[in-house]
Amino acid sequence: PYRSGVLLDNWDLSIKRATSVVRILQNDYKVDPARMTAAGRSHYIPLVSNDTPANRAKNRRTRIVVLPKLDQFYDMIEDGMSDPEINK
């Protein structure tokens, strides 16, 4: 467990990992920060047990989840439904 420095605990460390990835996406790849969310889960949802160094390394991960803009998705569906060529 992380127990020193400016970070409070493993949850704080987990969130710092997530925000560092968000900042890279924002600064290096120009992803709009309004479209991103950073979250940390600490040790609460491990992939594997934390009983070995290799397993602890597996649990130190960053996941990027890409979600569609639902309003645009629904607009596309409505546009398709109103197209007479599609509704034949």
Q: What does the pLDDT look like over 19-49, one tens digit per residue?
A: 999 999 999 999 999 889 999 988 898 999 9
Assessment of whether the complete model's pTM goes beyond 0.75 = no
Residue 9, C-beta contacts closer than 8 angstroms, at least 6 positions apart: 1, 2, 3, 42
pLDDT digit string, tens, across residues 76-87: 888 888 766 655
Joined together, the tokens standing for residue 52 give 């070995």
Question: How many Å is the Cα radius of gyration of the chain?
Answer: 20
